[in-house]
């Protein structure tokens, strides 16, 4: 009987070796094991088995060869070494996040070797994400400029073996609501005269739209004016600075209401008087009209006294 030369194995690994036997009388031979651990057996001249971690150490037993008449025993030892197990990753990341929303993932791993300390780290990640190796926390808030796909690779190592977790994180675009920041142009109109408010009359902040083409203006109801769409008409009796509420739309969302100022001018004054031919005449006077009206009344009074003397 020629015994195997290999006499060591790692846990969770298959041990398999052939035993060569012969008999000068050509009698049928059988092999058996005496006092062998449960994980090892012999069949068809093959000694085989897979030890577990609990089987670590030296396995000592006897290999017995028999022709039915005579037994030949040989002592045999197998040294069972504990295998190093690579860390097992036990967490699953979210693979999408909206822009301006905090992303948070706790990377976790365990090791079958209880004496092994597992170290967590990263190989690749976007700059807007921060990784805390002690806790495995990966976090960050993407902005509008971070919309897109990012490849992330995290690792867990016990100092001997390393396990990687690779995934793609998609940052989804969310429409940014437009913000009217100020009134760009000085606006004026006459009382009772319509005025269209243009996008270019306003300054708008919206990082994911193009100014001014992506926006439209709409007027909101208020005092001392009527409106239709983006056109406002001051009431005919109003004069001075008129506050008008407006909002803009970027195709998806409306901005908050913003109040602009319009300088409303008085409507020119029409005065009727008679000339020396006794015909009614209408004349338009500029604003302010008082000095012109007073002068005209003096002329009219003079004409009247000449035409109708007392």
Q: Per residue of the chain (310 residues), give pLDDT as tens.
A: 677 778 999 999 999 999 998 888 888 999 999 999 999 999 999 999 999 989 999 999 999 999 988 999 999 999 999 899 899 999 999 999 999 999 999 999 999 888 899 999 999 999 999 999 999 999 999 999 999 999 999 999 999 999 999 999 999 999 999 999 999 999 999 999 999 999 999 999 998 899 999 999 999 999 999 999 999 999 999 999 999 999 999 999 999 999 999 999 986 655 444 444 444 444 554 555 454 445 555 555 455 455 555 5
Q: Which two tokens stand for residue 173?
A: 């675009």
The class (CATH top level) of 179-265 is: mainly beta
CATH number given to 88-172: 2.60.40.10
Q: Could you tell me the residue ranges of all domains in the chain?
A: 8-81, 88-172, 179-265, 269-307
**Topology match between the domains 88-172 and 179-265:** yes
Domain 8-81 falls in which CATH fold? Immunoglobulin-like (2.60.40)
Instruction: Please name the residues in contact with 181: beta carbons below 8 A apart, sequence gap of 6 or more.
Output: 203, 204, 205
Rounded to whole angstroms, the Cα distance separating 125 from 141 reads 13
What letters, b where the CB count within 10 A reaches 16 and e where it falls short, cover 43-80?
eeeebebebeeebeeebeeebbbebeeeeeeeebebeb
N-to-C CA span, the chain: 164
What pTM was estimated for this model as a whole? 0.61
């Amino acid at each position: 009987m020629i015994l195997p030369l290999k006499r060591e194995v790692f846990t969770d690994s298959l041990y398999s070796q052939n035993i060569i036997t012969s008999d000068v009388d050509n009698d049928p031979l059988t092999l058996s094991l005496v006092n062998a651990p449960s994980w090892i057996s012999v069949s068809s001249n093959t000694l085989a088995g897979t030890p577990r971690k609990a089987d670590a150490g030296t396995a000592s037993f006897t290999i017995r060869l028999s022709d039915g008449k005579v037994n030949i025993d040989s002592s045999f030892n197998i040294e069972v070494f504990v295998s190093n197990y690579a860390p097992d990753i036990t967490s699953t990341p979210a693979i999408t996040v909206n822009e301006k929303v905090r992303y948070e993932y706790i990377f976790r791993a365990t090791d079958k070797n209880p004496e092994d300390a597992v170290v967590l780290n990263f190989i690749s990640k976007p700059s807007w994400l921060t990784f805390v190796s002690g806790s495995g926390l990966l976090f960050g808030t993407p902005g509008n400029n971070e919309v897109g796909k990012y490849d992330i690779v995290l690792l867990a190592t016990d100092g001997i073996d390393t396990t990687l977790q690779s995934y793609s994180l998609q940052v989804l675009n969310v429409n940014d609501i437009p913000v009217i920041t100020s009134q760009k142009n000085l606006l004026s109109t006459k009382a009772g005269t319509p005025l269209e408010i243009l996008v270019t009359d306003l300054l708008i902040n919206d990082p994911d739209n193009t100014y001014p083409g992506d926006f439209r203006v709409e007027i909101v109801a208020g005092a001392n004016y009527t409106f239709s769409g983006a056109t406002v008409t001051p009431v005919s009796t109003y004069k001075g600075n008129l506050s008008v509420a407006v909002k803009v739309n970027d195709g998806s969302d409306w901005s908050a209401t913003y109040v602009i100022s319009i300088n409303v001018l008085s409507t020119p004054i029409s005065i009727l008087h008679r000339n020396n031919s006794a015909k009614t005449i209408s004349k338009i006077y500029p604003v302010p009209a008082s000095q012109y009206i007073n002068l005209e009344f003096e002329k009219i009074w003079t004409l009247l006294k000449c035409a109708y003397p007392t």
